[in-house]
Structure 1
Amino acid sequence: MFKNLKIANTIILVFLISCISLLLIGFLGYSNMKKINENVTVMYDKGLTPVMQIEDVRNSVLSIRIDVLTMLDTKYTADIADHITNNHNKVNELIGQLEASGLDDQSLGYINEFKAKYNEYIRSWGTIKSYLSGGMKPNEAEKLTFGNLGSQATSHLDSLFIHYQENAQNLKSQSDTLYSSGIMQFAFIFFASVVVIFLITLPIVGVVKGTLKEMNTGLMKVAQGDFTITLDTQGRNELGVMKKSLANTIKSISAMLISIKEGFQAAQDQSEKLTSISKEMSASSQQIADTIQYIASGTGQQAENLIHITNTVNGFGMEVEEIAMAIDDVDKRAKEINTMAENSNTGLNSLVSSIEEIKESFDDVCNKISALGTSIKQINDITVIINSIADQTNLLALNAAIEAARAGEAGRGFSVVADEIRKLAEQSKNSSSGIGKLTDSISKETIEVINTTQDVSEVLENQLESINVTLHSFKQIISSVENMLPKINNVNSSANMINTQKDDIISMIRKASNLAEEASSATEEIAASSQQMNASSEEVAETAQKLNNMSSNLSVEIEKFKL
């Protein structure tokens, strides 16, 4: 199943899963931090600031009570009275600020109760102040009532303070709940993403490594001349298509080498036949030369041995007929050899074109593998972007932690969340680094495949040079045979002429004495032609032997391949 998965689609899927995971983590982190920030803002605006104002009111009220008790125990002092007035004005100002800050109904109730008791307390202070400024002291009942009013006003402030503490505790509980749920969501999304990416990438990496290893092993065997290997071509992904193309290329090369081997074997057989025919032709030429020499040596005895010459000429006529037939056969064989050499030359030209096409196919394979390396480099660039996003997230978490530290105890939970986000960013960066290592491994194996393919291309270039040498030798053979054909035709024409004129020679033997000089001259010409034909036969035999040797050498080279 995994062999049919497209590698590019799988990488895009992994990238999309990573992006979705990061987006979910970022969205949840932003949402939770926003809620926590809102809670902190509410705690500060609706909790901390009013509490500080309540504490200032309480301190001012306590300062008033202390100043009043001081004057009750000692005597009236204008400075202390002014201090009480200032604190009273401060209390009214702070109460006004609290009421303007948008308090809830319960807080307003506590404020109103405080104001009622506090105003009653201040009115009682006006009475006590008139006593003290006149040098008198209030009685114990008035002191007790005055003290109770101050205590009641203070108790309402305490109730309001406790109410704000409870509100702050509720906000803290909400922040803790958001923190816990955020951690669980982050952990679930992160581990789910890691598991999904692992389950997707692990089989694909295994398929890629296995396929590259199989292709590398196959190319090494091909480089050693073994074309009997078989590759699994069932996969439909990019590497499967590459393996199928490689298998077809190996199959085509093997078929061409088998065809070349058979062609060289046939050429070797024909070369051996040509060598044998050339030897026979040389022997016949030598026999003709010996016979003509014999005729030349017996020309002086023509008159005395006319009958013997007649019988000899009759035998000579039969030999001439055989020679004519042999020369005609040699002419046909030479033409056949010329045709075969031209066909072999055409086949070798086709072979050169095929090997050049194979080399172009291997170059195309190298280009496609280089394109795969470029795609893998783009994947590395994407992982660098993911690392950059993780670094920026880490930096944002660090800034959030600094801001939480500035907020003090109230920002402690926010600091923990920022730290968790930083850890998740680091884990995302580590996962991206793992993907980078996998793509680096694939890139290295791709380079090995390119190197192996280049080695095969060099072997093809060497084979192409060897075939070009053979092609040049065939051209020389064709040239030699073409030069030999006119000579064989001349000899054939001469032999046919001799065969035609043998009857005339027999009838004119009686006139041999008168034609002795002409016969001697004719025998000399025939001897020269025989020597020329003998030399041509030896040249044909030598050329045929060279062709046979070259065919043998090429057969030995082709035998090095396992087909």
Structure 2
Amino acid sequence: MGNKAEVKQKAKKRFFTLKVKMLIVAIVPVVVAMAAAMIVGALSLKGKIADQEIQTLVKYFAMLTIILIVLVTISIRLTLWGFVNSLNRTIKVLDSAAEGNLTVTAQPKDTARKDETGTLARHTNAVIKSLAKVIAKVGSTSDVIVAASEKLDKMTDQTRNASDDVARSMSDMANGATAQATETQSVSEAVMQIGEGIEQTNAAVQNLMNNADTMKKAGQAGAESVQDLGSISEKVKAQIAVIYQQTNTTNESAQEIHKATELIASIANETNLLALNASIEAARAGESGRGFAVVAEQIKNLAEQSNESAKTIEGIIKNLLEESEQAVKTMNTVDAIIGLQADKVETTKRVFDKVSGGLQVTIDGIESIASNTEKLAHARGQVMSSVESLSAIAEENAAATQETAASAEELAATISEIKDATGRLYKVADELTGELNMFQIYE
């Protein structure tokens, strides 16, 4: 408001100075003419000009001068009246503009004037128009600044929150990187242990291959033994069949002997009866039959011995038959056992074949394990190298994250300063908007 009053005061001073200059320009010719007329009149009164015509001319000149003065005065008055009115109207426009009303303009009749007031009116319109554009532009810019300040304030809040999150994340990352370096060292140690385990596994696999090869050879030998056992079982079975046949033959012979023994026993009994009868008859004959009695006694003894021998043979034959029957039963059992043994041998042979095939698969698997173990050992070396690189990277990451965390803290401080500056900018823009509200402009 102080600037507007100062501008208004300067405009009034310039207008007053312009009016004084115009009056001086208008009055000087009149004063000169009046002075000339007065000089001529004075000279004529003193008689210095004797000629009557000159005196008459002087009178006419004096009258003309008076008329000219009157006309000039009237013209000046009219000119000054129009000039002053135009200036007053222009000044009112400037006063309104100074008070903030930029919707007013100088009247067309004032802008159409060809004199200084017309120029002033046109320049006044141009200034008001330019000022209105500037005020509108400043108002728009102020609104943009206010909106941008609000948005920037929100963005700084978000950025500060994000910066805080980043700082926390960086701190967590730094801790994580440190932990990662520690874990990487642990991984390195674990990989070393894995390497030792791989070496032990490799040695165990080698021993396993040796044992598997031994088992394979033993399996082959077992298969051959089973094959031989099968052949022997077949031979034993054939021999048992022969023995079985011979035992049956012996049993049949024993039956025949048993029959013959029964016949001998029967004959011995009859002989014993005959000897008894002969003894009785010899006793009847007395002394003459004594020799016959001795023979009869001998025959009786022989019959009894034959009977005893027959009984002994009968016992032997009986035992032989029982043993033969038991042998037949045993051979039948043995034959069944040998048959079962043959089945078991065949089953064992198939098992050995499967075991042999399984051993081959196992050996192939062990060889594959050995190959994979070698690859694993090679991979362990690469992993160890990668772990060492990872450890170095983890240490670098830890240092970098710590530096980034420090930068994030500095960024947070800078954002706080930006927020404060944004608050001040918003306050200034709001005050500017309040100042611009006093101006009235066309939309």
- TM-score strictly above 0.5: no
Report the TM-score range of the alignment, normalised by the length of the smaller protein.
Answer: 0.3 to 0.5
**What is the TM-score normalised by the length of structure 1?**
0.29
**What is the TM-score normalised by the length of structure 2?**
0.35
Higher relative contact order, structure no. (Cα contacts within 8 Å, ≥ 6 residues apart): 2
Question: Based on CA coordinates, which of the two structures has the bigger radius of gyration?
Answer: 2
